[in-house]
């Protein structure tokens, strides 16, 4: 299924894109509302994920513009937001938003939500287009389900280089934990490493990134086949641990 993501948060868009692609969807990612609107006008998408606040055009305006132009197939619009107030949510629903995804995006929760919601939406689209309904899943045993479930990527810590403690940071007695978001390819090598939560010191953050870029991970697997995945990696800098 074709899915459009409008999100200026690099980490959030990376997580959504990776999970949706793993589920077999065709995903287009843009970083602001105006780009999303132009992409939708060029060829409508059955599903749109939109951040609330973006450059050029915000999520609510994007949603209103899409609702104005839609034909018979109304897209499913999901707002990605940290807003939790009921007044804000009612404002979004009034603009045409169908559902919400909370930020920061939780990988496990989003996978569960996506499987249930998007599969249901896809069946609805197929039914409207007079296509045969998707076959019901075949009952599986617990062992079969376990073997086909995706397993997370694991860093090979014994062979991965430890981060180099920056001399200036050591001299200034700077410590902290840098939490990294890592996009891992099916070969176990990092394809992208970004700061998810800073240690509080730019030199420690950069040292963590440089180290993890050289790491090798045990690839995640689905039904025994290596697949790309996303992992969160904490890197601790402690003067007492060397």
Phi-psi region at 213: left, alpha or beta (left = phi > 0; alpha = psi -120 to 50) = alpha
Q: What is the largest CA-CA distance in the chain?
A: 70
- So what's the pLDDT on residue 116? 84
> What is the CATH classification number for the domain harbouring 120?
3.40.50.2300
* Tens of each residue's pLDDT in the chain, 242 residues: 899 999 998 888 888 898 898 888 999 999 999 999 999 988 899 999 999 988 888 999 999 999 888 565 789 999 998 877 788 888 999 889 999 988 888 888 888 888 888 888 887 777 665 444 444 444 444 434 443 445 666 666 567 888 999 999 999 999 999 988 888 888 888 888 888 888 999 999 999 999 999 898 888 777 778 888 778 889 999 998 65
Supply 224's token pair.
């025994």
Same domain, 91 and 8: yes
Q: How many domains does the chain have?
A: 2
Can you tell me the distance from the alpha carbon of 101 to that of 150, in angstroms, rounded to the nearest whole number?
22
Same domain, 171 and 223: yes
Same domain, 41 and 85: yes
- So what's the pLDDT on residue 13? 87
Q: Is there a domain that residue 145 lies in?
A: no
Domain that holds residue 208: 154-237
- So what's the pLDDT on residue 7? 93
> What is the CATH classification number for the domain harbouring 159?
3.30.2420.10
Same domain, 209 and 166: yes
Q: Is there a domain that residue 135 lies in?
A: no
Same domain, 7 and 124: yes
Q: Is there a domain that residue 149 lies in?
A: no
Same domain, 120 and 25: yes
Same domain, 67 and 184: no
- So what's the pLDDT on residue 1? 87
Same domain, 10 and 119: yes
The whole-model pTM stands at 0.56
- E-strand stretches of the chain: 2-6, 26-30, 47-51, 76-81, 99-102, 154-155, 176-184, 190-197, 217-218, 220-222, 225-227, 229-237
In this structure, the chain runs to a length of: 242
Same domain, 8 and 100: yes
Can you tell me the distance from the alpha carbon of 25 to that of 16, in angstroms, rounded to the nearest whole number?
11
Supply 211's token pair.
């180290």
Q: Is there a domain that residue 188 lies in?
A: yes
- So what's the pLDDT on residue 153? 63
Q: Is there a domain that residue 63 lies in?
A: yes
Same domain, 158 and 109: no
Q: Is there a domain that residue 34 lies in?
A: yes
Supply 218's token pair.
């045990």
């Amino acid at each position: 299924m074709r899915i459009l993501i409008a999100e200026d948060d690099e980490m959030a868009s990376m997580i959504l894109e990776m999970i949706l692609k793993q589920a077999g969807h065709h995903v287009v990612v843009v970083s602001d509302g105006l780009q999303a609107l132009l992409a939708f006008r060029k060829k409508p998408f059955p599903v749109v994920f939109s951040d609330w606040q973006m450059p050029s055009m915000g999520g609510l305006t994007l949603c209103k513009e899409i609702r104005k132009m839609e034909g018979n197939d109304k897209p499913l619009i999901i707002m990605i937001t940290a807003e939790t107030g009921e007044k804000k949510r009612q404002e979004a629903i009034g603009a045409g938003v169908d559902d919400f995804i909370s930020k920061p995006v939780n990988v496990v929760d989003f996978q569960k939500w996506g499987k249930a919601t998007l599969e249901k939406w896809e069946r609805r689209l197929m039914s409207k287009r007079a296509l045969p309904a998707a076959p019901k899943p075949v009952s599986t045993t617990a062992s079969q389900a376990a073997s086909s479930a995706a397993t997370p990527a694991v860093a090979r810590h014994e062979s991965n280089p430890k981060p180099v403690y920056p001399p200036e940071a050591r001299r200034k007695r700077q410590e902290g934990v840098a939490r990294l978001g890592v996009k891992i390819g099916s070969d176990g090598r990092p394809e992208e490493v970004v700061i998810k939560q800073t240690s509080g010191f730019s030199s420690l953050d950069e040292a963590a990134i440089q180290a993890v870029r050289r790491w090798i991970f045990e690839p995640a697997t689905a039904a025994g086949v290596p697949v790309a995945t996303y992992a969160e990696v904490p890197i601790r800098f402690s003067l007492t641990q060397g």
